[in-house]
Amino acid sequence: MSSAEAAILRGHNFSAGPAALPTEVLEEVREELLSYRDAKASIMEISHRSRQYTEVHENAKAAMKRLLGLGDDWHVLFLQGGASLQFHQVPLNFLGPGQTADYLDTGNWSAKAIKEAEIVARGRDGASVNVAASSKGADYTYIPGPDERQLTEGAAYVHFTSNNTIFGTEYASEPEADVPLVCDASSDFLGRPIDASRYGLIYAGAQKNIGPSGVCAVLVREDFLQTRQDGLPTLLDYGTHAAKLFHTPPSFAVYVLGKVMDWLERNGGLAAMAERNEQKAAALYGAIDATDFYRGTAREDSRSLMNVTFRLPTEELEAQFIRESEAHDLLALKGYRTVGGVRASLYNAVSQEAVDALVSFMQEFERANG
């Protein structure tokens, strides 16, 4: 099958996650699937201690660090349990007795992270979780600004969700704080450059923007790592994984993720990605704002480049929109189950061409039904 044929076979995928991967990456995987280089077996079938897999693993880490401009003081870990396990593992490591952790609540995923931190805090004398700001009262339609944040002096860390996959909001830049930031970056990680010096730890479930499901990337800075608690369960102690490859990693997922890192580097890195992502989002928000038929749900200053959420005049029209979009090979546009409406996820692997196809469909749909 040629790339052109694959492009026809593959619809325009707007899934929120697991989400689109670059077609080139999948083609490379297909090429190597039965026998990886000189291994004479699939990468799935060989030891995680083998020369071949060790190279894959180390290359993926090194490429990720190059993309972000990280120095030797950063550890890159490829863990299991998804971003959801990180909700618990972060406070377990870094919220000690007598300490407070600040959390910024901007959506379902933030709320889940807060819930887990509270569980940890209850088991530790004098530990507490401070919800420093929340947009829950406004249905999570915006990112609370600095004047709405009640940060704690000397907090162990400030946790935030850089992009809110469900509500279509995103921080324009890192929140100000005097202590290390901890970020759930699952749905915008490597979609744009970040100021790494502000962070102690960043985590991202791979299946949104950087790879397949099954692996969660965790980046932790050495000096922050040193502030963790003692006596943690071995597998939940970040120190275990920072010291060495402790046990079997999700090797196939890491292998695909590594190919996505190479693809990002070949395509100009994070600055180029940010530019592409801004153009894609501008095209779609432009189409939404051009008419009263479509209505964006996020406040304009908080709009996400990654997940664009919008409504139509009625739920009936929304259902019809989703049905007809599928017939046009525009995939997975249905909004999150508890929120409804339409959501188009425009991750790195989603092309401008896909967005243009969506915009033309929207214009056609309005002409027929508006």
Ligand X SMILES: *Cc1c(COP(=O)(O)O)cnc(C)c1O
What tokens appear for 238 in the block?
A: 């970040």
Rounded distance, CA 370 to CA 363, Å? 10
User: Phi/psi of residue 32, each to 5°?
Assistant: -100, 5
Which is closer to ligand X, CB of 217 or CB of 287?
217
CB 87 within 8 A of CB 116: yes
Stretch that binds ligand X, among 39-47, 78-86, 98-106, 296-304 (CB under 6 A): 78-86
**Residue 325 Cα distances to 126, 216, 333, angstroms:** 53, 31, 8
User: Phi/psi of residue 221, each to 5°?
Assistant: -85, 140
Give the active site residue among 61, 208, 259, 280.
208
Q: Is 334 a catalytic residue?
A: no
β-strand partners of 343 = 309
Q: How far is the CB of 336 from ligand X (least distance, A)?
A: 10
**Near ligand X in 185-224, by CB under 6 A:** 186-187, 205, 208
The count of chain residues that interact with ligand X, using the rule CB under 6 A, is 12
Kindly report the length of the chain. 370
Stretch that binds ligand X, among 40-48, 82-90, 252-260, 356-364 (CB under 6 A): 82-90
Q: Does 69 bind ligand X (CB under 6 A)?
A: no
Give the active site residue among 65, 102, 105, 184.
184
Q: What share of the chain is helix, strand, coil (3-state, %, to 5)?
A: 45, 15, 40
Q: Does 17 bind ligand X (CB under 6 A)?
A: yes
Rounded distance, CA 358 to CA 330, Å? 7
Which is closer to ligand X, CB of 89 or CB of 165?
165
Nearest residue to ligand X, by Cβ distance, number only: 82
Q: Say which amino acid occupies 88.
A: H
Rounded distance, CA 333 to CA 361, Å? 12
Q: Does 74 bind ligand X (CB under 6 A)?
A: no
**Near ligand X in 88-127, by CB under 6 A:** 109
Q: Does 84 bind ligand X (CB under 6 A)?
A: yes
CB 302 within 8 A of CB 130: no
Rounded distance, CA 98 to CA 113, Å? 20
Give the active site residue among 61, 74, 109, 263.
109
Which is closer to ligand X, CB of 171 or CB of 361?
171
Residues 148-187 as x/- pattern, contact with ligand X by CB under 6 A: -------------x---x------------------x-xx
Q: What positions carry a catalytic annotation? A: 109, 184, 208
Interface contacts to ligand X, rule CB under 6 A: 17, 82-84, 109, 161, 165, 184, 186-187, 205, 208
